[in-house]
A and B are shown apart, each in its own frame.
Chain A
């Protein structure tokens, strides 16, 4: 190091050369190792895609794509097996839609409160509590759904099954509230105060400032948080496995038991599956569908932010 410093005073050009030569081998090695680390995440994606594609192709050699996508009966583990994925898809959609109907308004409401109405003191108390809610493992929500929400539902609707889509939906909704509220709140707090001040100067009430100035300005991020939350609900596994049941049913009645794509995958994996058998391959076919749907929604949320972001 000291030699380099002296060189600089002598001759800038030779110093550059010497520095390069002295750039020790270990420096290059470090760079290579670090870039390999960075490659792992790319490799993960490639591995997911290759593995899902490979086994799914194997699956479709035994089951027709048309039956898979349009069939209304899913009895993959029985004899004779039927592979119509619609019941799983509808179960998944029903739970994420009802869950979103609960989570999106409540999440957005708390975001508005925390960003626009709450005093700094109240915010400092309430925000960490919502963060705790975000950190609760999904298995805990599953327990809560089965032992608390389900009995309440069955009190109100005696016809409800022990395992029902509604109970799981409510728990999934609760689970994604913190996600909606924290992402939307971040977006609303990023709206410059000058916009608010301008609106107040015109005599707006807080409600008008929040809904006519702040929300439109943060709309792209709010909507993208909605999309991300729905995608999270679709991929949620333990709550639906515990509370929604394991009967794939082609039904739109939330009081009946349904099975989601994720719950089916868990059901197969917890049984004894022969590696390479047809049941094993169904995991990958259903997983592929799940992966495509959630990936599509994640990309959509990024496009929304990129295209419609307001520049202040």
Chain B
């Protein structure tokens, strides 16, 4: 066999190998979804959404954790989004490029790599015990807000950087103050991609379990939360609790809970993608 032929065959084998490894992820995703839908679909009905959890599988539902997740996510968004976007605006538009800014920047990317459970430990020590918020929705939301803050900051910074300098300079030339330039030019231009990043990080928060176990999410809640100081359950916590039981029925319930969680995530990601596409169209047009 000639040398060239051997090299071409090697290339073909390699092509097949790397294609197979890409396919691996796709197949795993298919198997995972199939496994979950096969186990869980039959448990999804009206009662599943309208019942509290129960020791009897057929009576168990996700009313409390679904509402709990909703409360937590809303509160997390309200806290994390302004702070995250504000930090990004400060770093991109206001701060001088000096060593302090550099430290803040390095610190943010380090925080993004801290395991979520460490944020849970922080929440337990600071919000639950030191501030005395107890094992409440507020503690949970504050913890999650700190967890997703670095991601929101970084994605917002990227969005802000994409604003053309000419636009900003034009605004300054008209005599606008910095804040006017930010609110009148920079933010309107970059808002779609800030929102895209925000939605993606908030949907990440929706699936987080470990930090909320640390600040006291419980699996057996039989009431709907009335205030941010109530104790709470969340969807992933309920899934965790059902999965860790040995009985087959509870695994079915867990799978049903996962389907609900995945549908919510899918919808929020779809919104993010639609926003991104709209934004890209506008840039082209």
Contact = CB atoms under 8 A, between A and B. Distances in A.
Given A135-B269, A139-B207, A143-B255, A5 B116 contact: no
Contacts of A107: 21
**What band does the interface of chain A fall in when counting residues whose beta carbon is under 8 Å from B?**
35 or more
A277 to B, nearest CB: 12
A283 B121 CA distance: 8
Contacts of A33: 86
Contacts of A106: 21, 24-25
Interface in A254-312: 262, 265-266, 269-270, 275, 283-284, 287, 290-291, 294-295, 297-299, 302
Contacts of B262: 136, 140
Contacts of B32: 136, 140-141, 144, 148
Given A33-B86, A235-B116, A269-B214, A44 B111 contact: yes
A205 B8 contact: yes
A181 B113 CA distance: 17
A23 interface: yes
Interface stretch (B10-18, B70-78, B184-192, B221-229): B10-18
A122 to B, nearest CB: 9
Interface in A1-42: 1, 4-5, 23-24, 26-27, 30-31, 33-35, 37-38, 40-42
B126 interface: yes
Q: Which of B24, B122, B176, B206 has the most chain A CB atoms closer than 10 A to its own CB?
A: B122
Interface string B189-219: 0000000000010011011111001100000
Interface in B30-47: 31-32, 35-36, 39
Interface stretch (A74-82, A110-118, A194-202): A110-118
Interface in B120-172: 120-122, 124-126, 129, 146, 149-150, 153
Contacts of A295: 110, 113-114
A208 B7 contact: yes
B117 A237 contact: yes
A30 B120 CA distance: 31
Interface in A135-154: 135-144, 146-148
A23 B254 CA distance: 58
A101 interface: no
B35 to A, nearest CB: 5
A242 B243 contact: yes
B95 interface: yes
Given A143-B239, A242-B243, A287-B117, A133 B28 contact: yes
Contact of B89 (A34, A40, A228, A299): A34
The B contact surface, by secondary structure, is helix
A88 interface: no
A266 B117 contact: yes
A273 to B, nearest CB: 9
Nearest to B89: A34
Contact of B116 (A30, A237, A275): A237
Given A139-B209, A144-B35, A299-B110, A133 B129 contact: no
Contact of B22 (A109, A136, A228): A109
B26 interface: yes
A89 interface: no
Given A237-B209, A275-B129, A290 B115 contact: yes
A34 B94 contact: yes
Interface of A: 1, 4-5, 23-24, 26-27, 30-31, 33-35, 37-38, 40-42, 44-45, 47-48, 51-52, 55, 105-110, 112-114, 116-118, 126, 129-130, 132-133, 135-144, 146-148, 174, 177-178, 181, 205-208, 210-211, 228, 231-232, 234-238, 241-242, 262, 265-266, 269-270, 275, 283-284, 287, 290-291, 294-295, 297-299, 302
Interface of B: 7-8, 10-11, 14-15, 17-22, 24-26, 28-29, 31-32, 35-36, 39, 82-83, 86-87, 89-91, 94-95, 103-104, 106-111, 113-122, 124-126, 129, 146, 149-150, 153, 175-179, 200, 203-204, 206-210, 213-214, 236, 239-240, 243-244, 251, 254-255, 258, 261-262, 265, 269
Given A228-B113, A265-B120, A294-B114, 17 more contacts: A24-B177, A41-B108, A44-B122, A45-B111, A48-B122, A107-B21, A108-B21, A132-B269, A135-B203, A138-B210, A139-B207, A143-B251, A205-B8, A205-B10, A208-B7, A262-B210, A291-B114
Q: Which 3 A-B pairs have CB atoms at the shortest separation, nearest pair first?
A: A235-B115, A137-B207, A109-B21
